[in-house]
Amino acid sequence: MDKTAAPREQWPALMAQAQAGDQQAYTRLLTALVPVIRSLVRKQITDDVLTEDIIQDVLLTVHRVRHTYDPACPFLPWLVAITHARSVDALRWRGRQRRWETEDSDILQYAADSSRTASGEQQESREQLAQFLDQLPARQREIVEHVHLQQMSLAEAAQKNSLSIAAVKSLLHRALNNLRRSGAQHGKS
């Protein structure tokens, strides 16, 4: 146990001192909170990396909303509420990421499947894939080709195209939405 960490009964007073600008009190409080936050998060999440990310997010949130804490009230329920909210947010975000990754991979799955088909079918699949990709704006098409067909990482695609990773993600997202729309229209005709 860290000797500088404060016992729980001191947390309200330390937060009041931190609210008044006492940096040492704030440091002692945050040091004491980390193991408690970790314990709370691990009750919901088993992924160590995600747990550490949530701990950081909770600490940032505590910092951002520290003015809302009333030292006359118990500290732990306030902290638990913040920790729970950040954990739920992280799980929702992860769920959305996994859903998008699954949808994205389904859209381009036939490109991978075409490598397993006979040469005649393979040529037809390549032509079909080329037709779909030709419907995209050039920049989006390049990103899809780099990331999904050449299997570049987002960082590699960003560097090759002189873009930020966020820009590559955005272009990829727009391209895949365009492919979904054109696939849906193609399926109706």
Q: What is the C-alpha to C-alpha distance for residues 185 and 142, in angstroms, rounded to an integer? A: 22
Whole-number pLDDT of residue 120: 56
pLDDT digits (tens, 9 = 90+) for 84-106: 988 888 888 877 666 555 555 55
Q: What is the C-alpha to C-alpha distance for residues 18 and 28, in angstroms, rounded to an integer? A: 10
Q: With 60 as the cut, is the pLDDT of residue 188 above it?
A: no
* Domain that residue 153 falls in: 108-188
Supply the CATH number for residue 137's domain: 1.10.10.10
Q: With 50 as the cut, is the pLDDT of residue 1 above it?
A: no
Contact 107, 114 (CB under 8 A): no
Report the candidate in 112, 168, 162 with the shortest Cα–Cα distance to residue 140.
168
pLDDT digits (tens, 9 = 90+) for 5-62: 678 888 888 999 999 999 999 999 999 999 999 999 998 888 888 888 889 989 998 8
Report the candidate in 13, 21, 20, 61 with the shortest Cα–Cα distance to residue 37.
61
Q: What is the C-alpha to C-alpha distance for residues 82 and 97, in angstroms, rounded to an integer? A: 22
pLDDT digits (tens, 9 = 90+) for 161-184: 898 888 888 888 888 887 777 665
CA angle 116-120-123, nearest 5°?
A: 80
Within a domain: 156 = yes
Within a domain: 2 = no
Supply the CATH number for residue 38's domain: 1.10.1740.10
pLDDT digits (tens, 9 = 90+) for 103-118: 555 556 555 554 555 4
